[in-house]
Amino acid sequence: MIGLVVVSHSPALAHAAVDLALQMVPGEKPAIAIAAGAGEGLIGTDAAAVSAAIDEVASPDGVLVIMDLGSAVMSAEMALDFRSSQAEVRLSSAPFVEGLLAAIVTAAGGASLADVDREARGALAPKIQMLGGPEPAPADPAARLAPLTPEELRADLVIVNVDGLHARPAATLVSTLAGFDARLTVVNQRTPRAPVAANSLIGLLSLGAKSGDVLTVAASGRQAAEALARVTAMVNDGFGEPKADRT
């Protein structure tokens, strides 16, 4: 599992952002080190502290560094010259809060350094879509609902959560699928676009799935049946959250 370093001018901001993200991870959590502030009660960043944080969470799988702004980026760049560990380190351009949430959830699922960085950097996409930004191109219906291959399974599942498929149930789904040897994709039938990976938090949030929406989930791989059954049970149960009144 990769390590994560959080670099911020404000210790309070850094700890609050990490606490928020960790609430979305029910199981094993990645190693996280915070390098925030420039000393007792001082706002700022310290390259030496960032370097120590990188060494603290260094992993053979790599380290992703997420920064807030300005000198945090410069301190992170300088820290690369001071560290003693040899793990691969990436400095991410991800948005601080959304990117950190996406990174922690994705890392907890055992994703690679490159995949975690990509998820973090794309973390603003769902918000942009919700606020009327550019929409992804619709998928070709023929490709979206291509004939089943011999090893693929498919199910149409109705979102019953009052608030739809928001961050918490989406993160729960990502964490759950990490335990299966299977590949799952999801399409929202209300707004049909290209399928998204079911183990991508940002992909799931980009579906904009509301209560009552029908999601088509396709599964393939050695544990496809088990994974699809687990997803079906979670969706039908509303991920343990209140369900919309269907009476």
Question: Which pLDDT belongs to residue 149?
Answer: 56
Q: Chain centroid to CA 50: how far?
A: 23
Model pLDDT for residues 2-14, shown as the tens digit of each residue:
999 999 999 999 9
Structure tokens at 40: 């007792």
Check whether 77 has a pLDDT greater than 90.
yes
CA distances from 219 to 32, 67, 87, 164, 215 (A): 32, 36, 34, 22, 13
Question: Which pLDDT belongs to residue 217?
Answer: 95
Model pLDDT for residues 189-229, shown as the tens digit of each residue:
988 778 899 989 988 998 989 999 999 999 999 999 999 99
Q: Among this protein's residues, is 9 annotated catalytic?
A: no
Model pLDDT for residues 92-121, shown as the tens digit of each residue:
999 999 999 999 999 998 899 999 999 999
Residue for token digits 């998820």?
Answer: 119
Q: Which of 166, 193, 210, 243 is catalytic?
A: 166
d(CA 103, CA 118): 9
Question: Which pLDDT belongs to residue 143?
Answer: 38
Q: Count CB-CB contacts under 10 A for residue 7.
A: 29
219 three-class SS: strand
